[in-house]
Amino acid sequence: MTAILIIVGLGAALSCLATRAVLSLLRRAAVLDHPNDRSSHVIPTPRGGGIAVIAAIVATALGAAMARGEPAGGMGVAMALAIGLAVVSFIDDLRNLSAGIRLTAHGVAVVGGLWALGGHGAFAAYLPQPLDLTLTALAWLWFINLYNFMDGIDGIVGSETAAIALGIGGLAVLGLAPASLLGPSAAILGAALGFLIWNWHRARIFLGDSGSIPLGFLVGYLLIDTAQPGGPALAAALVLPLVFVVDASVTLIRRLARGKKPTEAHREHAYQRAVQGGWPHDRVCGAVLAANALLIAIAWGLAAVNPWAALAAGLAVAALAYLLLMRVGRHAPRPA
């Protein structure tokens, strides 16, 4: 356990220091996210801090594996793919790449990730390989993009990432996830915490696509690897990210029902509505973290006893969190 705490601390320190360095570079280069009618911030803020976070994760996770004499294996491939996504997404932060280029990059990463996972997806215990891989690929692509969609207020993606990484690390300790995930999840937890020092409300730097996209990919990789045995492991992996999944999915369905384009920028997520309704960013993140604490408890405890009950309880928690945030935002201007 001491070694894991060292990995968390090292990841946090590297992420914090690297983010400070990147912040200075982005300010000098005027790489700023300027407020508009779709924004939740009011002053121009440097964008692209994800480069520092991903660098810290890769250095910490692979460095820890090398120190223990462990092969990088599939996780090494996943880290390399995350670096590629971070580079492409940083270019997108600078130049606004087309949706086709972005989705192609995401698709290549997902295919490579599934290969690194041994050619099996999250549902390998229940479905034929072609169907398993197809459903997992589609779910992973959605997860990568919803991670980006949910990056709309200070601290929310960093705190969600820390919560899921903590949840997966606990599952590894309990034997519900592969022990090989303990080091990478600790590195991701630490890097997320280090970044939050600069990104908590009021944020001095944003992740940008260079952070949210590769983080969504890496967290997705860990969740799929956790889920592969099926049963309690699959239930636990499905429960942990439900706050983000429910908010992003329900919001997308509601917008499609009104004839809105799925790629159009907006401020209609429950967490954004709560900010518009008067809650500060840190209070919204606190509510999300409280829901995540319950989801972690469900994944660690109930999933091992009754997977179906765990899924039902997890959905109830995520739905209540969504409804609470929407209730806070009931006085906000209604979307067109």
* Residue-wise pLDDT tens digits, 135-162: 999 999 999 999 999 998 999 999 999 9
| Global confidence as pTM | 0.95
Read off the pLDDT of residues 255-268 as tens digits, 9 standing for 90 and up: 999 888 877 778 89
Do you know the residue count of the chain? 336
Select from 252, 221, 226, 253 the least CA-distant residue to 239.
226
Q: Rounded CA gap, 152 and 282, in Å?
A: 12
With 90 as the cut, is the pLDDT of residue 43 above it?
no
Task: Give CA–CA dist 300/265, Å, rounded.
Answer: 36
Residue with tokens 């911030």: 41
Name residue, tokens 């692509």: 141
β-strand partners of 46: 32
Task: Inform me whether the pLDDT recorded for 66 exceeds 60.
Answer: yes
Q: 41 pLDDT exceeds 80? A: no
pLDDT score at 288: 98
Q: Which pLDDT score is estimated for 266?
A: 85
Instruction: Determine the pLDDT at residue 333.
Output: 67
Q: What is the largest CA-CA distance in the chain?
A: 57
Residue whose entry in the numeric block shows the structure tokens 């945030």: 325
* Residue-level pLDDT at 261: 83
How far is the C-alpha of 311 from the C-alpha of 325, rounded, in Å?
21
> Stretch 107-127: mean pLDDT, rounded?
96
d(CA 61, CA 203): 26
User: What DSSP assignment string belongs to 137-168?
Assistant: HHHHHHHHHHHHHT--STTHHHHHHHHHHHHH
First to last CA, the chain: 51
- What's the rounded mean pLDDT across residues 181-207? 96
